[in-house]
Structure 1
Amino acid sequence: MDPYEDLYGRKCRSPAGWFGVREANVFGPDLVHQAIEKTKLIQERLRTAQSRHKSYADVRRRELEFQVGDWVAYELELPSELQTVHPVFLVSMLRKCIGDPSRIVHVDDIQVTENLTYEEEPIVILDRQVRRLRNKEVASVKVLWRSKYREEITW
C-alpha cells in the first residue's frame, strides 16, 4: 500500500476524478468531519514517529554536567592573527578537562606566523627508537623542546 492510500484510505487520483460516483454526495458536515479525522490521524502518526526518533536519539545522548571551575569552552576569543580559525565548538564536542594550570600558555607569549605555526627550539635528543610496521620501518626521536616560557618532551 502506498503512503497516500494508507493516509487517506483511497487510491491517489488526478484532480479531475477526485470524487467517484458514490463519493459525489459527500458535502458539508460529513466532508469537514472526514477532514478532521484525517488530521487527527496524521497528528497521531507524527507523534509516534517523533517519539520513535527521540527514543533512538536518547540512546546516544549523554548528560553533560559541569561544575564551577571546570575547564570548558564554547567560544574562543582569538587574536586577530587567528581570524581564519573558527572560534565556535559544538556543545556535544565538549569534554571535561582536568587541567594543569602550570601548562597554560598565553597567546601573547607565542608568536604565531601567517600560516598558523610558531617556532620552538630543540634542546636535546633524549632517546631514539625504530618501529617496524608491515612494509617499512619508522624512526622516532624523543626531543626536549624549549619555547619561550616552558619545556616539553615529545616523540
Structure 2
Amino acid sequence: MTPFEAMYGYNCLTPPSFLGFPNKVEVSKEMLDKMDEELGKIKKHMREAQLRQKKFYDLKRRPLEFQVNDMVFLKVNPHRSNLLLGKDHRLSPRYAGPFKVLKKIGSLAYLLELPKYLNVHLVFHVSLLKRYVSNVAHVLQDNYKLKDDGSFELQPEIILDRKERFLRNRSIVEILVKWHSYLVEDSSWVNLDDFLTHYPSFQF
C-alpha cells in the first residue's frame, strides 16, 4: 500500500510512464527519461520495504509449535476478586505445570495431560502455553485448583501488617497479606472484613 492510498483510500492517478507523451524537444525527452527511471526506482524500493515489513511482522506473529510428549507450562492468572481492585493491586500471572502435550488440536490449540484434581477442560490455546525450561521463575508450587477460565484462587500465606484508617463516622481495618507462590513485595493491602468473607477459616 502506498502512502497516498493509506491516507486517501484510493490510488493516486498517475501515468504508467512519462514516456507516453510525445516530445519534440530532445532535452525534454532526456528529462522525462530520467524522471521515469527515478519513478521506477521509487516503486521498487517501496515494494521491497513492504516485503521486509511483512516478513518481520510474520516472524513476530509466528505462534509457538509443540510436539506430542513435549512438556509445557500453562499460563494462569489470579482469579479476579473484590479484594484486589485497581491497577496497582494486580498480581502477575503464574505458570502451572509442566504438563505433557497429548495432541495438537487444529493449528493453534493443544490437548494437555492435566491432573484430575484440577477438574478443567484439557484443550488450551497456544498463547497460554510456554515451553518448559527447568528452574523457571513464577511457577505454582502448591496444590491449587484451576477454574474453567484458566484462573486460580489466591491463597493467603501470612499476615505481615495491620493498619486502621478513619473515615467520617467509622474506621476500616486493613491487613497486608502475603500470598502463596508470590514474593513478599507482591503482598497486598486488603480490607479485613472482605478478607474474612473470602477466607473464613484462615488462622491469624
Q: TM-score, normalization: structure 1?
A: 0.34
User: Which has the larger helix fraction?
Assistant: 1
Of the two, which has the highest radius of gyration? 1
Q: RCO higher in 1 or 2 (8 Å CA, sep ≥ 6)?
A: 2
User: Which has the larger strand fraction?
Assistant: 2
Q: TM-score, normalization: structure 2?
A: 0.28
